[in-house]
Structure 1
Amino acid sequence: MKFVIIGGDAAGMSAAMQIVRNSSGNSIIVLEKGGIYSYGQCGLPYVVGGKIESTDKVIARTQEEFQQKYGIDARVFHEVKSIDIKNKVVSGIIHNTGEGFDESYDRLLVATGASPIVPKWEGVSLPGIFTLKTIPDTEEILDFLYKGVRDVQSVVVIGGGYIGLEMAENFAELGKDVTIVERNEQLAGIFDNEMSELIHQEAKKHNVKLRMGESVEGFIGNQFVEYIKTDKGEIKADIVLVATGIRPNTSFLDGTGIVLGVNNAIRVNAYMQTNIEDVYAAGDCATQYHRVKERDDHIPLGTHANKQGRIAGLNMVNIPATFKGVVGTSIIKFFDLSLGRTGLSEKEASALNFPTATVFIESKDIAGYYPNDKKLTVKLVYHKETQKLLGGQVIGENGVDKRIDVLSTALYHSMTVDELLDLDLAYAPPYNGVWDPIQQAARRVK
């Protein structure tokens, strides 16, 4: 059987490896638009900040390793432009030669990921304006910072989501003068207002300037970007990072009949199948079933991409496996704080018409009498009538990941807030109080 995979990163190569490990005598062709395989995109902000010494460190496996060790026909600079569903052929262009190509398939996986959204602002093509999604993006930023193109002091980050916050932190720790411009009134919109206020305080504590409720209109400059023009004035900028979200790479599917869903991501079932026979999809270009919302969603994260790719690969070689869905778990480091959330925020739950109630507490990450305890802020969102847990948010210096993972597991199993009290969680004074902070919060539910 001949398998063709479009996309050589997390989802695509997870699928390819499952095909290799669980079948034999097949042809596996991977068509990657760029020149690099299997790298950790989430590590790129820390390469810019110098915490990770080079982009080489975030590459899991090289093209040569896939070819020589696993027998995968892993190609680079092959961009698929169209799919002939009837005749089972993908067509595209080889960027480093300019030639076209056609490749037939028996089964096809679309794992094309997503690309940064860059609005069509005036002057957006000026040198010094960047996005961050790939290793070449990272190298371009590093060259601009360190190869004497200009003296970079003032940095403007457009967008206060996860990438925006991570990049603001890393630029600030390089000693740059950092400003975040966010069109909404809060950073990290997936958190509720009282939790995001902690994020605002942390930004100001580290001298990151916040321009909230401000919309970018364009850029001003000659040889390089010099100022950002907004609806409230101008902001000096030696370098600009645009972090306004990402969009699934699915536009090339127009006319194929492949059904798209949330955010124009490819709609897939639990087996990673599309509505077209023998065509699968996985990763940032595909939908994910949200267990709490009980509907398809689009939450592009590396964890989901690897899981979906693995499941797609198994099903492509007739080993039944299903993707069990997501609950919306994520965590980010922002200076001294960890920001964790899972499930639904109060805003999301209300928008979905859940009868919603919440509890909000300030606690400690360890026993209050043990040295060096740190504040931990916890918010639980639950169903007012059934007391079923709907979501949780935890922010603090230490112990956030532990609590978010417990809440994520509770959401996966549809637990109530009362049932949180029955969990047998690890306790010793250097690690916890006798009642874990999420249990303390659950005890306040009426």
Structure 2
Amino acid sequence: MKYVIIGGDAAGMSAAMQIVHNDSQADITVLEKGHIYSYGQCGLPYVVGGLIKSTDDVIARRVETFRSKYGIDARILHEATAVNPSTRTVFGKNHETGKSFTLSYDRLLIATGASPILPTWQGTGSDMIHVVKTIPDTERLIQGLQKDTVKDVVIIGAGYIGLEIAENIHRLGKRIRIIQRSGHIATMFDPDISERLHQEAERHGIILSMNEQVKAIEDGRVITDVNTHKADLVVASVGIHPNTAFLKKTGMNMLQNGAIIVNDRLETSSPGIYAAGDCATHFHLVKQRPDYIPLGTTANKQGRIAGLNMCGKQRSFKGITGTSVMKFFNLIAASTGLTEEDVQEAGIPYKTSAIETKDKAGYYPTAFPLHVKLIYNPDSGRLLGGQAIGKNGAEKRIDVLAAALFNEMTIEELEDLDLSYSPPVNGVWDPIQQAARRAT
């Protein structure tokens, strides 16, 4: 069986390793447009801030390991430019030699990931503008930040990456301004959660410019529809888009943003072709439809399951609940399921139950405030989502809620869970159970 995988990072190499372990006769070729395989993109902001010493530290396995130890034909600087599902052929270009190539396949995996969106602002091509998605992006940003002339840094966009980059560049002693087109940062959370992140940013001297649209970047300035801001360096973090443009002529089913629609076995609408990771859809268990929430955890899971199915080992991808967590200075913020905006858009009846409590027994000397919010359907009692924020413990509560969502639990059933208790780590009633009791 001849396997071709396009993309040598999380999803692609997770699939490749499953094929290696389950098909002793496998002929595996991996095409990677860059020159680095299998690294942790989520760790890159912490390399910028110096918490992680080098981009080398986020590389899980080097390309030589895949070649020598596992017998994979792992190619670098090989970009796939087209796929013909009828003839089962991949076309591409070798950027080392400048020559074109073609490859036939029996099974093909698209694991091309996603790229940062860079809007067509005036001055977008300026050398002062940076994105953070790959190791080369990160190394270029580090070099830019090392210049003595760089004092004022403007970050456009306040999602996960924007906020993590803001914190880490702040560690370097730079002045930080975040420009956000909406009225609050971290719009993946409800406003009552993101307001706490807003306050945390201001406590650390980060300037927030809300409700501003960037128009141009020129001559050391970022010009918006409201103000002009000084900037020695700009980081754009306004979202990502799937790397699937080269597949447009295949007729493969995709979402409007280009994410490839897959079934529970990670198969696309084209026979013999699979897709996984940031270029594919992710079935949302609460919304009950394909969604696009690109995260490293999902990419690794989907890659593993795609690899198993490609070599005949039947395994289903059960779906996601949209679970995520981030650290921002002294706060941990986490979420799973639907936000209030999500349920409003879906037209689902809902109520919320929010509490301000402590992350452990209230009398314990290191107990810190923890805000927990539950969203549920008042008719059925079914949990729809949850968010938490505090210095400690938000991630523990959200992981419990993610498991509850996976099992379609009700708000009342949360009270019945047997959760751990000891004064240094929790109260007698866990915060999510306190919120559930308030709801019921």
TM-score tier by shorter-chain length is over 0.9
* Aligned counterpart in structure 2 of residue 183 of structure 1, from 145, 161, 181: 181
3-state DSSP class of the match of 2:195?
Answer: helix
TM-superposed CA distance for 1:26, in Å, is 1.7
Q: Is the 1:262–1:287 Cα contact (8 Å) retained in structure 2?
A: no
* Aligned counterpart in structure 1 of residue 370 of structure 2, from 376, 381, 395: 376
TM-superposed CA distance for 1:261, in Å, is 2.0
- The residue number in structure 2 matching 1:277 is 271
Q: Which runs of 5+ in 1 are unaligned?
A: none
TM-superposed CA distance for 1:10, in Å, is 0.3
- The residue number in structure 2 matching 1:154 is 152
- The residue number in structure 2 matching 1:6 is 6
TM-superposed CA distance for 1:49, in Å, is 0.3
What pairs up with 1:245-394 in 2 under 5 angstroms?
Answer: 245-261=239-255, 263-394=257-388
Q: Is the 1:262–1:296 Cα contact (8 Å) retained in structure 2?
A: no
Q: Is the 1:38–1:59 Cα contact (8 Å) retained in structure 2?
A: yes
- The residue number in structure 2 matching 1:236 is 230
Q: Is the 1:356–1:383 Cα contact (8 Å) retained in structure 2?
A: yes
Alpha-carbon distance in structure 2 between the residues aligned to 1:76 and 1:239:
31
TM-superposed CA distance for 1:169, in Å, is 0.5
Deviations 1:280-320 (A, max 9, x none): 00000000000000111000001000000001000010110
The answer on 1:414 being equivalent to 2:408 is yes
Q: Is the 1:155–1:177 Cα contact (8 Å) retained in structure 2?
A: yes
- The residue number in structure 2 matching 1:91 is 91
Deviations 1:160-217 (A, max 9, x none): 1000000010011111100000001111111111111101100000001000010000
The answer on 1:132 being equivalent to 2:132 is yes
Alpha-carbon distance in structure 1 between the residues aligned to 2:344 and 2:76:
46
Query: Match for 1:243: what amino acid?
Result: S
3-state DSSP class of the match of 1:274?
Answer: coil
Q: Percent identity?
A: 56
Alpha-carbon distance in structure 2 between the residues aligned to 1:262 and 1:405:
31
Deviations 1:95-151 (A, max 9, x none): 1221111111111000000000000111111111100000000110111122x4x52
Alpha-carbon distance in structure 2 between the residues aligned to 1:139 and 1:199:
28
Query: Match for 1:151: what amino acid?
Result: T
Query: Match for 2:30: what amino acid?
Result: V
Query: Match for 2:51: what amino acid?
Result: K
- The residue number in structure 2 matching 1:41 is 41
Alpha-carbon distance in structure 2 between the residues aligned to 1:262 and 1:325:
20
Alpha-carbon distance in structure 2 between the residues aligned to 1:346 and 1:263:
23
Deviations 1:44-89 (A, max 9, x none): 0000000000000000000000000000000000000001111111
| Structure 1 moving runs of 4+ over 2 Å | none
- The residue number in structure 1 matching 2:19 is 19
* Aligned counterpart in structure 2 of residue 172 of structure 1, from 145, 170, 173: 170
TM-superposed CA distance for 1:262, in Å, is 5.4
Deviations 1:394-446 (A, max 9, x none): 00000111111001111110000100000111001101110011100001114
Q: Is the 1:262–1:297 Cα contact (8 Å) retained in structure 2?
A: no
3-state DSSP class of the match of 2:257?
Answer: helix
Deviations 1:341-379 (A, max 9, x none): 000011111111110100111000010001021000011
What pairs up with 1:198-217 in 2 under 5 angstroms?
Answer: 198-217=196-215
Paired positions, count: 440
The answer on 1:62 being equivalent to 2:33 is no
Alpha-carbon distance in structure 2 between the residues aligned to 1:387 and 1:190:
24
Alpha-carbon distance in structure 1 between the residues aligned to 2:251 and 2:340:
37
- The residue number in structure 1 matching 2:419 is 425
3-state DSSP class of the match of 1:171?
Answer: helix
RMSD across aligned C-alpha pairs, in angstroms? 0.8
Query: Match for 2:293: what amino acid?
Result: I
Q: Which runs of 5+ in 2 are unaligned?
A: none
TM-superposed CA distance for 1:253, in Å, is 0.4
TM-superposed CA distance for 1:247, in Å, is 0.1
Query: Match for 1:90: what amino acid?
Result: V
Which is worse superposed, 260-269 or 309-318?
260-269
